[in-house]
Structure 1
Amino acid sequence: MNPADYRPKTSDIPRDPGVYRFRDEEDRIIYVGKAKSLRQRLVNYFQDPALLHPRTRQMVFTAARVEWVVVGNEIEALSLEYSWIKEFAPRFNVMYRDDKSYPYLAVTLTEEYPRVMVTRNAHKRGNKYYGPYTKVWAVRESLDQLLRVFPMRSCTKGVFNNAQRTGRPCLNGYIDRCAAPCVGRVSAAEHRHIAQALVSFMDGSGEELIAAKKAEMMEAAKAQEFERAARLRDDVAALTTVVEKNTVVLDMDTDADVFGLEFDELEASVQVFFVRGGRIRGQRGWVTETVADLEAPGLVSQMILQVYGQYASSRVGAKRSSAKSVDDVAHTSADAIPREIWVPALPDDAEALESWLGELRGGSVRIRVVQRGAKAQLAQTVHTNAVQALQRHKLHRAGDLTERSKALEELRMGLGLDRAPLRIECYDISHTQGTNQVGSMVVFEDGLAKKSDYRHFIVRGPDGNGVPDDTAAMDEVLRRRLTRLVQGHAADDASDDEPTSGPIDLATDAPRRFAYKPDLIVVDGGLPQVNAAQRVVEELGADVRIVGLAKRLEEVWIPGEEFPLIFPRTSPALHLLQYLRDESHRFAITFHRKRRAKAMTRSALDAIPGLGTAKQTALLKHFGSLAKIKEADLEALEEVSGIGPRLAQTIVEFLHRENE
């Protein structure tokens, strides 16, 4: 197949780190790769085929589609890539296709003198294993760093017994990389304490121990114990390196399906990662239609029924079938129902679902929302994939010329327009309990967003203190926009606070984009908002069609009509209107948050006696934010132009009192 036939749009590919998979026409995975930036890597596969390596060229012409999964960082991408290469054995992956297992870092707590070592052997109950590591050198380097801080035994049984007989330790004992229990320098209990400390460090995030080492280092430096401080500095560096190289995802007894969900009024994007034996063993994702009025709990309930309902008619796969991956970890098959299901919101019928799943599985199943730690981080990664999948789906649909043409023609017929609405403007209002009221205008031309024509409005009201409700705010925004349109002003900015005076002089002024009349104006709301907007149009004689999109049932309201226009849920016209409304809402709320943050900063500084506008500006320019100003001491404040010792003292006292 020609790669150009399945090449994704460059703008659809995220810049995040992740793992990608090429599939052939029979849906087999033929290549797995990782990338620090998915976009930067994937576009290379779709360059001029003559520039590609012969094997790469063969791969892209064999493939029929490409898909990707976003992960949190490069280490997760590395681990997931090798896991999938081992699981699926893609024909075009030439590295790491041997039958060896992954190397693990093991601590043999079952022995009298625990040993830390690198192993590929099957895991024994009672010992601790960390990994898998994707490369042998990585685990050996981690071990070398750990022995600097946790000097425990790493030698074989033969070397240990020989040292006991001769009374001479091995090299590690002489260079302080081992506490040498073989020659009695420490007792068995003391040596086990060192091993337990290493296990505690590897089981946790390591932040507490690193912070403690740093504190000790600072104390040693203050006491001028520079050699000890240098050793502690090296310990901190070693521990930090190990934390960065540790590729553990979750505990090895973790079997769970991790769901991510992103949805709007029309569609929902679902992603699921299959975690078995603490590792990601597979992934699925799809976009489907949603049901009206369903919130997250209801959608999660339907999602669980859809995914696991296949097991109700056939018990195949529902039982706790066992699998064993190349990393030597026995785990529940990715095709079977796991012990736990992690969801973004707990369904209302969670108990009934757990009982139903338990019967299918032949064992207990728990549905839960994870909230902290590595599990929550993984759940967030799955959600990020769901968000991006929905965005790609909408962008692909919006970028389809046939789809856009259908949408515009449906709008023309449904609204009884003389021609398809080639220029559509959509307006929205955003505020916080009536404060910092703003409006937004987004523009679509030929069914595509024209972001250069987007504009913000600051809603001021007759006295400059805002307006009482959203209807009045929409009235002001539309009145300002349509006044400029009717009077023919050359308004570069449709949201100017004061209208420009005088009509356009066609002899001296080029036509401006905001002099063009929209074919359709969409407002967010039902019949009351639409009728209010229509009154503005009639008063100004603007001759522009107005419709409203009510969010609850996605109804299209037309001024003067008793009943709304209902488009089918699969209608391209409804998808376009929804995209307009959502884009307008996003644009409005972004501007509102910016103004609110600025207002909060100004209000805090305005209350400080003697701090005028010029000095406030100087402070914000110097420190960058109100939070940094609050953290500044007297000396730092006095460095700002215009801030003397007395005013600096006033600022510190006032902001500290405010914090208290």
Structure 2
Amino acid sequence: MPDPATYRPAPGSIPVEPGVYRFRDPHGRVIYVGKAKSLRSRLNSYFADIAGLAPRTRQMVMAAGSVEWTVVSTEVEALQLEYNWIKEFDPRFNIRYRDDKSYPVLAVTLNEEYPRLMVYRGARRKGVRYFGPYSHAWAIRETLDLLTRVFPARTCSAGVFKRHRQIDRPCLLGYIDKCSAPCVGRVSAEEHRRIVLDFCDFLAGKTDRLIRDLERQMNAAAEELDFERAARLRDDVGALRRALEKQTVVFGDGTDADVVAFADDELEAAVQVFHVRGGRVRGQRGWIVEKSSEPGDDNQGQLVEQFLTQFYGDQAELGGAADESTNPVPRQVLVPCLPDNADELATWLSALRGSRVSLRVPQRGDKRALAETVRRNAQDALAQHKLKRAGDFTARTAALQSIQDALGLSDAPLRIECVDISHVQGTDVVASLVVFEDGLPRKSDYRHYAIREAAGDGRSDDVASIAEVTRRRFYRHLHDVQHPTEIAPEGKSRKFAYPPNLYVVDGGAPQVNAAQAVLDDLGITDVAVIGLAKRLEEVWVPAEPDPLIMPRNSEGLYLLQRVRDEAHRFAIAYHRSKRSKRMTASALDSVRGLGEHRRKALVTHFGSVARLKQASVEEITAVPGIGVATARAVLEALGVPSQSDAPEAVIGNDQDKVSG
């Protein structure tokens, strides 16, 4: 582990201006990004008294191998540059407010002729209105189930809508009056859009007018003795009121704000956000993060600053194409305390929103009461997290320590990578590489490999495949180390700049020795290699004639089995996908005049080859570019009997009998 004194900048070489700095590890990967009003004061504090640093900060300084900085003009520029670098480099010691899931929203596709209501995750699109976020997708479906009886708008996908339009028959929701069935012309496009706009008005807070209109219609129907319609309208009013009960009114003045609160201990912090739109709580989010404090910083103020820059920076990018009505940055952000650079933060948030944003601490009244509620939610979330993680964290620590002791490693294997090969009798040979960090899967680092050097005589060569994957994986690592300043392609990150502490292959001595030989050829000496054989769960070490037997009840063996099984699952999933595509392509390759684009159009239109086999000639010719002759040739290639021969023969025989 590097000594911080070996890379400490020379006295007087650090500028006193504001700027952003980066710590890099010995492999050249950025592990921490920070900013400061005075770079000299901030960076010197990292090296003055290492023992006095917070545990996570001390670990970062000890893991780093160099530090560099960039001078900027203002603190607002420093905020923007820090956010951009954190997003670009994904430093391991920075707090990252990532959700363990993407929060769903209720989307209304107003940019379509027949707008659709749906659960949605992802980037915002122009012409689509969004409501939420919701904690769970089932909460959106529950809301839709309540409201579609009053606002019977379309909720089906484009494929389902097109299919029911072709067969001129509505789906089940159309039969039970939870959809106005625009697919079969029950309502015109204008009437359906009016239903959808009423739905949007209700969710946007214009509820009193809609309920009054329904009550007026209900009373009119009762006066006309149309009691069935009056009863339906009464039930509709009840459904709207039940939906309203789920959105508590907290502010009577139509406030547009986010209320943020924290609960923390020495190591971790819980963050809770309540999204208030139109005076009602529209959504809630929560995170648990590890704390990283910079020397001399106010802990609570630093948490507020880090959260606001990362959360709203990400939200602004996510909603960059959305309408003004769905602006992800609210007019007010209520926080438990103001950071030192509160004015600069407010200026930056205002630039993201496109209008003034107020950043303040609620002092009294309804806002203060709601802030206290959010704080209690954060405390509860942190307490539940501690209770849930206590056993898991202890088990993972014991597992890593067990592996370290059994293999005689100098450090615990905090990053474990495992390779598995999958094929059927030597065909469609693929490999998977899975990554576990701190005993947990890191799925963003998983990789697939299509084996290029597989035997072409129908036989599989797992040893050669293991060697190929190992060579390709670590060649990538060496390339990143030798070119640390090279910019990764857009949308890609240099994940493999980190080598694993432990490299596991699925197999015995031949596979392990093949992987070790590749590492020796590449000059890599700091990665331990083992193999895990399925038969007796033996651990094989390179160049050893006998395997290592770990106790059956060992936490370390259990973790290795989990890693191996995850690699096996990931490899099989990729193999099945690749084999399915090959079989689909080969079945249609023999059809003359059917090129790659039309093959893809056919499979996309019907969804699968099985559905294509069940289609008629007329249904196939509905695909653009497919004629009758080609449609019949497709069915013949798929082994479907001709649809024109058998029926005609039966008719002919019947006619002969009648004439006779």
- TM-score, length basis structure 2: 0.37
RCO higher in 1 or 2 (8 Å CA, sep ≥ 6)? 2
- TM-score, length basis structure 1: 0.37
